[in-house]
Amino acid sequence: MTDPDRQHMLNTSEAVDAAAAAAGAVAGLPPNTPQQAGAETRSQWRDAIWQFRSHRGAMVALVLFIMTILFVTVGPYIWTIDPTYVDIRARNSGFSAAHPFGTDQLGRDMLARLMAGGRVSIAVGLTAMFIAITLGSLIGVVSGYFRRLDAPLMRLTELFLALPLLPLLLLMVTLFREPLSQNFGPALGIFILIVSAIGATSWMQAARIVRGDVLGLKEREFILAARSIGTPPHRMILRHVLPNVLSPIMVAATLGIATAIITESALSFLGLGFPPDFPTWGRLLYDAVDQMVMYPWRVILPGLFISLTVLSVNYIGDGLRDAMDPRIRGR
């Protein structure tokens, strides 16, 4: 074979590879080589990060949420007053150098209690969100991909959606509060109960969102091509389906954090959350209601922290949705 013929074959091969890569990119097929896959992944994540950074509301919310996390995690190492320490002589104190946010009716420092309460409330939100998103994503993917399981799983989801959630949560707390407290201790037992109850009653929206995306995704060309070559269902779900429904899962996760924080605050406000000596933002609201006319800052401060945290999480979710959805990226 002469050199011109060999060069012509090399050029033809490169052209075919380039055309196949372009066609695969249009159809959503994975790239042919690891180098192409890595470059495309880096480019997609770079575009998503750039889009998220261009969302002003999401960036402000991210800074605010990070400051809140630092306040409840690093703050107790700087402001070392025990949030449960009772000083009757200093009760109902106003803002001062010794107590920047004042004290409550028992003389407990409000700044220390806000830090401790925020740590518990955010931990409940994150843990309950993880349970709800894991359960909802699993049910949504299985329901959307396997047609035979779609009807029973969706009827189960609709059954949970039809239940009154707050009375159901109150019933669960009433039934399982004492057994869990005896087995795991008051604090850990109530924490397990609260996060399990919120997670078990908050997965339905995520399941329906993921199911809808999977139903549209499994008819795409690259899914049909992978199925035609005999790809097993578990590999299809892990490699092709889950990466393409990551955007709605992350958005549902951010919304789940906000919902869990509000739900825990509502339960604590009703007196069915953590013990009285275990502060949360909702518990601080509950303790301050009786004296809110005389000492309004005791209600304003925990309410402000709850509102800012929930609002920042919602804006972060909005920015993630815009950044990870290629159909609206760049608008």
What pLDDT is stored for residue 325 in this prediction?
A: 65
What pLDDT sits at residue 43?
64
Q: pTM for the complete prediction?
A: 0.76
Name which of 223, 297, 294, 209 is nearest 253 in CA terms.
209
Q: Domain coordinates of the chain in residue numbers?
A: 70-324
The pLDDT profile of the chain, 331 residues, written as one tens digit per residue, is 554 444 444 344 444 344 444 444 434 444 444 444 444 445 666 777 787 788 888 899 999 999 999 999 999 999 989 888 888 888 888 888 888 998 988 889 999 999 998 998 899 989 999 999 999 999 999 998 888 999 999 999 999 888 888 888 888 888 888 888 888 887 888 889 889 988 988 899 889 989 988 888 888 888 888 888 888 888 888 888 888 888 788 888 888 888 888 888 888 877 777 777 778 888 888 888 888 888 888 889 998 999 999 899 888 888 887 777 655 554 5
Q: Which amino acid is at 202?
A: S
> What is the model's pLDDT at position 326?
58
- Amino acid 18: pLDDT: 44
Structure tokens at 21: 């890569």
Report pLDDT for 273: 76
How many Cβ atoms from other residues are within 10 Å of residue 162's Cβ? Answer: 8
Q: For helices 246-269 and 186-200, give the axis angle rounded to 10 degrees.
A: 130
Q: What does the pLDDT read at residue 155?
A: 92
Name the region of 92 (left: φ>0; alpha: ψ -120 to 50; beta: rest).
Answer: left
Tokens encoding 107: 């003389």
- Domain 70-324 part of CATH 3.10.310.30: no
Give residue 44's pLDDT. Answer: 65
The DSSP line for 264-282 is HHHHHHTT-SS-TTS--HH
Token pair belonging to 271: 């007196």
